[in-house]
Amino acid sequence: MNQFLIAVLLITSMLAKAQQIVDFKMKNEANAKERTYMLDLMREEIYRIEPIEIKFVVDHFNVSNNYAWFEGTAQLKDGKPIDFGDDFPGDCCRVLSLFQKNNGIWTIAEFMPFCTDVCHWGIANRFPKAPKGIFPLHEVYFAE
């Protein structure tokens, strides 16, 4: 009977952990290292598009298990808006990103900087292993 109870408690605790959503919107001691690393990954990708130093205004950043979803706005390091000029083909300055942890290291699974449309349409379906709770509750994330 004790072994059964221990097994039930172990399974319950594993399921509870599997469903846990951690909010990375605000930097704190617990998330500082991972959060900074993930934001730096996006900064590097943007720098490849346009060699500028940026920072992010974070609107949404949820993490669960080996996935994380980020939504925010890129701006210059001094807080001023980015101006790419009229010829820039994107929509400045919204940035979206899905991260995936592989072998303990965060990588960008899908990156959407300055997209011009609903580029995240159906992303939860494209990544079915990503916990649904990391995404905002809007239909575009789950659309097919």
What string of H, E and C letters represents the secondary structure of 72-88?
EEEEECCCCCCCCCCCC
Whether 122 has a pLDDT exceeding 50, the answer reads yes
Q: Is the pLDDT higher at 32 or at 87? A: 32
Whether the CB-CB separation of 45 and 112 falls below 8 Å is answered with no
Q: Burial-class residue 53 by CB neighbours within 10 Å (0-12, 13-18, 19+).
A: exposed
* pTM for this entry: 0.82
Q: Is the pLDDT higher at 11 or at 81? A: 81
Q: Which of 79, 61, 74 is nearest to 21 (CA)?
A: 61
Residue 1 has a pLDDT of 58
Find which of 76-80, 84-88, 102-106 is predicted with most confidence, using mean pLDDT: 102-106
Whether the CB-CB separation of 82 and 74 falls below 8 Å is answered with yes
Q: What percent of the chain has pLDDT over 90?
A: 63
pLDDT band at 112 (very low <50, low <70, confident <90, very high): very high
For the domain spanning 31-80+90-134+140-144, the CATH number is 3.10.450.630
| SS (HEC) of 18-80 | HCCCEECCCCCCCCHHHHHHHHHHHHHHHHHHCCCCEEEEEEEEEEECCEEEEEEEEEECCCC
Find which of 5-9, 10-14, 16-20, 90-94 is predicted with most confidence, using mean pLDDT: 90-94
Query: What is the domain partition of the chain in residue ranges?
Result: 31-80+90-134+140-144
Q: Is the pLDDT higher at 5 or at 111? A: 111
- Read off the pLDDT of each residue in 111-116 and give the average, rounded to a whole number: 88
- Type and span of the H or E element at 111: strand 105-113
pLDDT band at 45 (very low <50, low <70, confident <90, very high): very high
Q: Using CA atoms, how far apart are residues 96 and 118, in angstroms rounded to an integer?
A: 11
Residue 137 has a pLDDT of 82
Residue 3 has a pLDDT of 58
| Paired sense of beta strands 22-23 and 54-64, if any | antiparallel
